[in-house]
Chains A and B, each alone.
Chain A
Amino acid sequence: MLLSFENLGPWRIALGIIAALVTAFLVCPLVLIVMLSFDSSPWLVFPPPHWTLRWYRELFTDPDWLGSFMVSLEVGLTVTVLSVLLGLITAIGISRTRTAWRPACETAFLMPMILPVVVTAIALYAFFLRIHLNGTFCGFVIAHLILALPFSVGAILNGLAHIDPAIENAAVLCGSSRTYAIMRITLPSLRPALFSAAIFSFLASWDEVVVAIFMASPSLQTVPVRIWGNLQQDLSPVIAAVSTVLIVLSGLFIFGANFMKSEKK
């Protein structure tokens, strides 16, 4: 009766307690950050003596932080567009590859996701230093595209796996050309997969720290790089404010994704 919650007896209590503790373990840090971001004391005193919006004011008037948000956004969106396009062509290519080659192809395109980011980071750093791409917008986009592509290819391949090729064949037998069948039948069914490919690609770039640390220049810093730089010096509550903004954005993302999902039904 291990799969019936009602019949779990004393085990039910144990499971419930562990789940509750782990949930607390996961939630507390997030709650703490949000509270500290409204904390009037610059020394991160807990519980906060007074509430203030001072850190948000500092954050949103600091041209450096605002610049970083813009850089993150620009890099992220460029990566998203390129990653979805390249991912789509590649995934269709893989799905049409002869069966014997398919696993090899898939593994090749997943590799950047499997390897430790540090390894990819220093390899790209060494290479970019030699071809003078380091610290450039283009270099940033290429580096993040390498990391985002596996997510995009994976998501679209997954979507393609749920589409029966017989449907495209049916369209061709109905008299449409192969291209028209892909545009009119296959791509529309792929819309949810393309959407998650876009989200994953954007987040892969937006949240990325390690490669960014190596790619960044003083004038070109994404939000994570700037947080990283600040963390090395002090634990200013401004970081709590930035983190809160990021948490809220993630929350909105999840909400949006769930909304899209329920919309489909």
Chain B
Amino acid sequence: MTAFLSIRNLHKSYHGNVAVQNVSLDIRKGEFVTFLGPSGSGKSTTLYVIAGLMSPTGGDVLVNGRTILDVPSNHRNIGMVFQKYTLFPNMTVRENIAFPLVVRKRPRDEIEARTNEMLRLVRMEQLAGRYPAQMSGGQQQRVAIARAMVYEPEILLMDEPLSALDKKLREEIQGEIKRVHERTGVTILYVTHDQEEALRLSDRIILFNTGRVEQIGTCTDLYTSPRSRFAGQFLGNSNFMPVEIMDAAAGTIRLPGGACVENVRICDSGDVDHPLLMMRPEDLTFRKAGDCASSFDGQVRSSYFLGNVMNYEIGIPGDYTLTMRVYIDGTEHPPQTGDRVSVGWLPHKAIVFR
């Protein structure tokens, strides 16, 4: 596979603060890739370097094998949608969308046709004559997407475009973005700190942490096989517990209570001092007491109903709390707060980071 967009050993620091260090990644043409990470993790900086709005202190950005660092932003043929609303306040929706074609001095009828096409694409035909100040945030961002797509850029960058919108509107425009991606086949790099948004939209997720790439993979990869404690914690909820590794080859560990369990996946993460066992809440189930080694005896501390699942907080010996999520099918009687329960878990689904 030849990469369409490659980033090689990218490094960026300003005023002595390192924002991005040694980031390398390859992106295929037409892929929808999300840069996911907490704020300050370097994801936006990487995006700005690709856009040419920041220059890196080291490394290279290549498109089709050629560096684009010496190409000024306005000649990179990259579209970008910003976190803030950046429609030109002195122009109508139509003029905003036409702007990139006007500065490219395209013929008038082409501008007209493309602009109409884009208005249709983001379903804003009715508001074409409005000014940005007369529109809602969601409408503005839709126009911003149209403006960034009108000149058929090869890459579309999106820097947390929906973070200022409420949940319902955000989901609606996520659908819109997905549709634009499917219809046009543009390569999209999408920055967000919202894991749900990342899972919903992307083909692949690039997980950032403290200026580095923590893990790259599909959504399921990242969820089922996190390669570090950070990855396990950032995507979805997890239970963590210190353990002792008895036999790394066989995956044998010893739990705090003293019981030994075999067949656990062991992962060299390099980001924990002592081995840590990670279990997803939905991988835990209620069992009969003392069923097998891979279970904990405990007491229900609290529970709440989430619609189709119950969320339990279980206190177990050693002062640990396990969070578990159980589907309710209505046939059994679910445990109540204060009940003594036994919680089982599946060693092959759990991971130990060391």
* Residue ranges of A at the interface with B (Cβ–Cβ < 8 Å): 164, 166-167, 169-178, 180, 184-185, 188-189
21 A-B Cβ contacts within 8 A? A166-B83, A167-B86, A167-B87, A167-B89, A169-B51, A170-B80, A170-B88, A170-B147, A171-B99, A172-B53, A172-B73, A173-B51, A174-B103, A174-B151, A175-B75, A175-B77, A175-B100, A176-B99, A178-B74, A188-B90, A189-B89
Q: Which residues of A contact B83 (CB under 8 A)?
A: 166
Residues of B within 8 A of A171 (CB): 88, 99
The minimal Cβ–Cβ distance linking A165 to chain B, given in whole angstroms, is 10
A178's closest neighbor in chain B, by CB? B74
Among A166, A174, A189, chain B packs the most CB atoms within 10 A around the CB of A174
User: In the assembly, what is the distance between CA of A167 and CA of B99, in Å?
Assistant: 13
Q: Is the CB of A170 within 8 A of B86?
A: yes
CA distance A113 to B251 in the complex (A): 76
**B73 proximity list for chain A (CB < 8 A):** 169, 172-173
Q: Give every chain B residue within 8 A of A164 (Cβ-Cβ).
A: 84, 86
Min C-beta distance of B17 to chain A, whole Å: 13
B333 within 8 A of A: no
Knowing A170-B82, A175-B103, A175-B104, the reply to whether A185 touches B88 (Cβ < 8 A) is: yes
A171 to B86, alpha carbons, bound, how many Å?
9
Number of interface residues of B (CB under 8 A): 27
CB distance from A87 to the nearest CB of B (A): 21
B89 → chain A closest CB, angstroms:
6
Are the CB atoms of A176 and B74 closer together than 8 Å?
yes
Interface residues of B (CB under 8 A from A): 51-53, 73-80, 82-84, 86-90, 99-100, 103-104, 144, 147-148, 151
The reply to whether A169 and B103 contact each other, CB–CB distance below 8 Å, is: no
Q: A169-B82, A170-B80 are in contact. List 15 more A-B contacts (CB 8 A).
A: A166-B83, A167-B89, A171-B88, A173-B80, A174-B100, A174-B103, A174-B151, A175-B75, A175-B77, A175-B103, A175-B151, A176-B74, A177-B74, A185-B88, A185-B90
Is the CB–CB distance between B74 and A167 below 8 Å?
no
Complex: how many Å from CA A176 to CA B76? Answer: 11
| Bound Cα distance A167, B104 (Å) | 18
Within the complex, the shortest CB–CB distance from A172 to chain B, in Å, comes to 5
Complex: A228 Cα to B127 Cα, angstroms: 59
Cα distance A175–B99 when bound, in Å?
Answer: 9
A174: chain B residues within 8 A (beta carbon): 74, 79, 99-100, 103, 147-148, 151
Contacts of A178 in B (CB 8 A): 74
Interface centre among A169, A173, A180 (most CB of B within 10 A): A173
Task: Return the contact of A166 from the options B79, B86, B89 (Cβ within 8 A).
Answer: B86
Chain A residues whose C-beta falls within 8 Å of the C-beta of B80 in the assembled complex: 170, 173
Given the known A-B contacts A174-B99, A175-B74, are A166 and B84 also in contact in the complex, defined by CB atoms under 8 Å?
yes
Task: List A contacts of B75 (CB < 8 A).
Answer: 175
User: How far, in angstroms, from A173 to B153 measured CA to CA in the complex?
Assistant: 10
| A110 vs B78: C-alpha distance when bound (angstroms) | 41
Contact present for B151 and A189 (CB under 8 Å): no
In the bound assembly, the distance between CA atoms of A172 and B53 in angstroms comes to: 9
- Bound-state CA distance A175–B111 (Å) is 15
User: Are B82 and A172 interface neighbours, CB within 8 A?
Assistant: no
CB neighbours (8 Å) of B147 from chain A are 170, 174
CA gap between A24 and B80 in the complex, in Å:
58
- Minimum Cβ distance to chain A for residue B280 (Å): 39
Chain B residues contacting A167 (CB-CB under 8 Å) are 86-89
Measured between alpha carbons, how far is A174 from B95 in the docked complex, in Å?
A: 13
Question: In the complex, what residues of A have CB within 8 A of residue B100's CB?
Answer: 174-176
| Inter-chain contact A176/B103, CB cutoff 8 Å | yes
A169-B82 Cα distance, complex, nearest whole Å: 10
Chain B residues with Cβ below 8 Å from A184 are 88
Which 9 A-B residue pairs are closest in the complex by CB-CB distance? A174-B100, A170-B86, A176-B103, A188-B90, A167-B86, A173-B80, A166-B86, A172-B74, A166-B82
The chain B residue sitting closest to A164, CB to CB, is B84
Q: Which residues of B contact A169 (CB under 8 A)?
A: 51, 53, 73, 82, 86
B75 CB to closest chain A CB (Å) equals 7
Residue of A nearest to B104 (CB): A175
Name B78's closest neighbour in chain A (CB-CB). Answer: A173
